[in-house]
Amino acid sequence: MPQVKVRLGESIDKALRTLKKKIDKEGIMKAAKAHRFYDKPSIKKRAKSKAAAKYRTR
């Protein structure tokens, strides 16, 4: 779990910005959005192959 220590005189806005960057870097929000709904294994497989095809065409 990412933690941010607020220093003396540091604004809350800056601390929140730092926390959001850490959460984004660790991929916590991406994982939470992925687990929001259940996807059948066949749909996951199809999406994974579609992403791989998109990556190969670059």
At 11, which amino acid appears? Answer: S
Q: Say what the pTM is.
A: 0.60
- In this predicted structure, the answer to whether residue 39 has a pLDDT above a threshold of 80 is yes
pLDDT score of 57:
77
Q: Which residues contact 39 (CB under 8 A, 6 or more apart)?
A: 47
pLDDT score of 34:
87
pLDDT score of 1:
82
- In this predicted structure, the answer to whether residue 3 has a pLDDT above a threshold of 80 is yes
Please report which confidence band the pLDDT of residue 28 belongs to, taking 50, 70 and 90 as the band edges.
very high
Total residue count of the chain as it appears in this document: 58
Q: For the chain, which residues make up each domain, given as ranges?
A: 12-56
pLDDT score of 52:
93
